[in-house]
């Protein structure tokens, strides 16, 4: 699966580096496949929640479909939890896990 670069975490990383903070392992937001959710719905949800362009949202949706799961965002714990909740509110099966 292609790596997913978080949209805004890069700014946080730069800020942390500039003040000498040790970078911690990020938290990944995972979306899991199911046998019924239409692909186009998953794309719409990724575009809406993360602001991803259509190509990236489609690429992530296909990763979910073919591999059973995909990392859709990585970054701080607070924001990962927030995104996980948004995905669940939108009806997708999502979890968070510490990057290995």
Partner 1 sequence: MAARIFVRRRDGRIEVRLNEDARAIVREAFAHVLAAETDPEHEWHASLNGPIDPSHDVDDPLATLNRQSEVSSNVELAVVSLAEDFLNDGEAWAWLCTLQIALRATITAKGIISNERLEDADEDTRDYIKTLQTLLFGLADVM
HEC-encoded secondary structure of 19-37 = CCCCCCCCEEEEEECCCCC
Can residue 82 be called a binding residue for partner 1 (CB under 8 A)?
Answer: yes
Pick from 74, 75, 71, 76: nearest CA to 59: 71
Handedness of CA 56, 4, 14, 85 (dihedral sign): positive
Q: Of the ranges 13-21, 50-58, 59-67, 87-95, which one interacts with partner 1 (CB under 8 A)?
A: 87-95
Q: Which is nearer to partner 1, 69 or 86 (CB)?
A: 86
Minimal distance, residue 90 CB to partner 1, in Å:
5
Can residue 55 be called a binding residue for partner 1 (CB under 8 A)?
Answer: no
Among 34, 54, 65, 66, the residue binding partner 1 under the rule CB under 8 A is: 34
Q: Which is nearer to partner 1, 15 or 88 (CB)?
A: 88
**Residue 78 belongs to what H/E stretch?**
helix 77-89
Can residue 44 be called a binding residue for partner 1 (CB under 8 A)?
Answer: yes
Distance of CA 31 to the CA centre of its chain: 8
Interface with partner 1 by CB under 8 A: which residues? 34-38, 40-41, 43-45, 48, 81-82, 84-86, 88-96
């Amino acid at each position: 699966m292609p790596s997913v670069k978080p949209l805004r975490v890069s700014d946080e990383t730069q800020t942390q580096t500039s003040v000498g903070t040790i970078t911690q392992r990020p938290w990944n937001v995972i979306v899991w496949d199911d046998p019924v959710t239409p692909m186009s719905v998953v794309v719409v949800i990724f575009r809406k929640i993360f602001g991803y362009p259509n190509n990236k949202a489609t690429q992530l949706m296909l990763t979910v479909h073919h591999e059973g799961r995909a990392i859709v965002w990585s970054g701080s714990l607070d924001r990962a939890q927030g995104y996980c909740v948004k995905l669940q509110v939108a009806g997708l099966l999502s979890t968070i896990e510490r990057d290995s």
